[in-house]
Amino acid sequence: MGTWDSGPFDNDTAADWCGDLDDADAAQRPAMVREALSRAAGEDGYLDADIACEAIAAAALVAAQRPGGQRITSPYAPEFLCDGGRLDLPDELAVLAVRALDRIMAADSEWCELWQDAAAGDNPAFDAVRDLRTVLTA
């Protein structure tokens, strides 16, 4: 996993997923967000980091539509959103996003293990996920 920072879009997997979202028909985008969240939330075994990275990016898109959510400004986020576009997502995706984030932060998550190993002291990636969860549960 090529990672250059701790934000939801700051890795190769999330950036590629966002590119696929950009390329998709606008009507298919909500289903893609739901699928990314469902794959992480529904994983019973060891959670692969790539699935987690896509789900974190999807959760950030859901959180951006919630009160208190951060505007999407990352150059690696879907371009249509940075250019003022909109992604209309159903409200119930916030619950699924929280389940996905909780699964990502569990002990049997490759993403969680990688960030535990990489971070000494403060962990900005964990903070970013916790911030998303806070917005999604507000």
Does the pLDDT of residue 1 top 60, yes or no?
no
The model's confidence at residue 119, banded by pLDDT at 50, 70 and 90, is low
- pTM for this structure? 0.95
The model's confidence at residue 61, banded by pLDDT at 50, 70 and 90, is very high
Does the pLDDT of residue 121 top 80, yes or no?
no
**Total residues found in the chain within this entry:** 138
What confidence score (pLDDT) does residue 56 get? Answer: 98
Does the pLDDT of residue 84 top 80, yes or no?
no
Does the pLDDT of residue 127 top 80, yes or no?
yes
Does the pLDDT of residue 22 top 90, yes or no?
yes
What confidence score (pLDDT) does residue 27 get? Answer: 95
Largest Cα separation within the chain, whole Å, is 43
Does the pLDDT of residue 106 top 70, yes or no?
yes
Least confident of 28-37, 38-47, 86-95, 114-123: 114-123
CA distance 101 to 80: 24
CA distance 125 to 80: 25
The arithmetic mean of pLDDT across residues 60-83, rounded, is 91
